[in-house]
Amino acid sequence: MATFNELGGKTGRSRVAVVAAGVISPLGFGLDETLASVRASRDCISPVTRFDVEKCRCKTAGQVSDERLVSRRRNGRKIDRLHRASHMMMAVFEQLFGQDPEFKPDLTVVGTTSGGMSFGEDYYRALHRDRGLRHSPGWIANYPPQKPVIDAQDAFEISAPCQIIANACASGTNAIGHAFECVSSGKYQRVLTGGYDALSELVFVGFDSLQASTPEKCRPFDRDRSGMVLGEGAAILALENLEDARARDARILGEIIGYGISTDNHHLTQPDPSGSGPRRAMEQALHSAGRSAEEVNYINAHGTATPFNDAAEGKAIAELFGSIPVSSSKSMIGHSLGAAGAIEAVVCLLALQAQLLPPNINFRRPDQDLDLDIVANKSREAKIDIVLSNSFGFGGTNASILIQKLAA
């Protein structure tokens, strides 16, 4: 039977600090812009401009500004040929190392779902329309999901091994959780981790065809919720052994204290309506941290605004935590798939620092079947020390992480 010390970690395991973070999402570029948007409860969903959505039910998404990505690109033909996802990853690396230039990772662990899917689109269309495969070597070279991470590592002369986790929409949280375990176990001292996904026409149309996307506003946990809205972005966190971080006087943004995972095995696209899968992941995260449900002050829910997901997750939260503030960042930025868990982890870190509860915007009417304390429409100040971030995906894959505000 595992035992726990008074600080909430398993005995014999290292504590894990977050010493820097970079983020790009519809909320903005960097920590300051992101916090300002969260505080202002900003709706960042806009009409899709990157490709034609005339035949789709859903015509909106949370989008990252191409103009801002282009403005920060470095000169050179090779850089100009890179995919948007590579530029996102290079931008968040730049933010992170700007905060902590001394951080030297032993390992990089990143989650994603679609990877270079848009290059796959181009390859397929070239075959379908018989317009030749002259550019196919470039498409193939950029298709692997590790390519944006390798591009970012090359740009910053990082030679650490790179691991990619592609586990549906739990990928970003799985990556952070795995990185947490790597440092907590003592096998690694410093790990870069996070997630990325760029908006892809193939993925967008796929979700629209499933009628999982909504032509209306994204309304997580609302009685009238009608579906998700896609988003995009990237976020990266620098995890380090807490003692080492303190020894070098690193700035500490927060502490990862627990990680839990589970699998429903219920349905390819729908969660078990009992909420048993999400509940097991959250229970494991609490057990990993040596914490009780009563000690958690806020939950950043997966909250996709689909009827089945919100019902299952809401049921699990209510049963395990009772009345606790809950919100979904996807109401503001959409569902960025493999990047979602990483972006939402950054939102949780900012919430701990600013002592505020992120909002669940577009909320009109509570669901009578969900007994939840929704942070409706506006952020609000609150004393919070421990937060839980959830990510759940197709196939019943579930992941939760606990993040703690580190006492001065």
More confident call, 250 vs 268: 250
pLDDT value of position 356: 97
What single-letter DSSP state applies at residue 338? G
Catalytic residue among 44, 56, 58, 169: 169
pLDDT value of position 251: 96
User: In which band, very low, low, confident or very high, does the pLDDT at 29 lie, cut at 50, 70 and 90?
Assistant: very high
pLDDT value of position 408: 58
164: left (phi over 0), alpha (psi -120 to 50) or beta: beta
pLDDT value of position 117: 60
Residues 6+ apart with CB under 8 A from 194: 92, 110, 111, 172, 175, 176, 234, 235, 236, 237, 339, 342, 345
Whether pLDDT at 116 is above 70:
no
Catalytic residue among 178, 218, 335, 348: 335
pLDDT value of position 2: 37
Whether pLDDT at 36 is above 70:
yes
pLDDT value of position 106: 97
- Which structure tokens are listed for 178? 């795995």
Tell me if 336 sits within 8 A of 391, measured CB to CB.
Answer: no
Domain boundaries, the chain: 16-404
pLDDT tens profile 8-17: 445 579 999 9
Catalytic annotation on 302?
yes
pLDDT tens profile 277-321: 999 999 999 999 999 999 999 999 999 999 999 999 999 999 999
Measured CA to CA, the distance from residue 221 to residue 369 in angstroms comes to 10
- Which structure tokens are listed for 260? 């839990």
Tell me if 301 sits within 8 A of 282, measured CB to CB.
Answer: no
User: In which band, very low, low, confident or very high, does the pLDDT at 135 lie, cut at 50, 70 and 90?
Assistant: low
pLDDT tens profile 144-194: 889 999 999 999 999 999 999 999 899 999 999 999 999 999 999 999 999
Tell me if 363 sits within 8 A of 375, measured CB to CB.
Answer: no
Catalytic annotation on 287?
no
Q: Give me the amino acid identity at 198.
A: A
CATH architecture group of domain 16-404 = 3-Layer(aba) Sandwich (3.40)
User: In which band, very low, low, confident or very high, does the pLDDT at 1 lie, cut at 50, 70 and 90?
Assistant: very low
Catalytic annotation on 335?
yes
pLDDT value of position 266: 72
DSSP track, 7-45? TSSBTT---EEEEEEEEEETTEESHHHHHHHHHTT---E
Using DSSP's 3-state secondary structure scheme, residue 162 falls into: strand
Whether pLDDT at 4 is above 50:
no
Longest dimension (CA), the chain: 66
Using DSSP's 3-state secondary structure scheme, residue 272 falls into: coil
Catalytic residue among 83, 87, 178, 302: 302
Measured CA to CA, the distance from residue 56 to residue 51 in angstroms comes to 11
Whether pLDDT at 237 is above 80:
yes
Q: Scan for tokens 């269309």, then name that residue.
A: 125
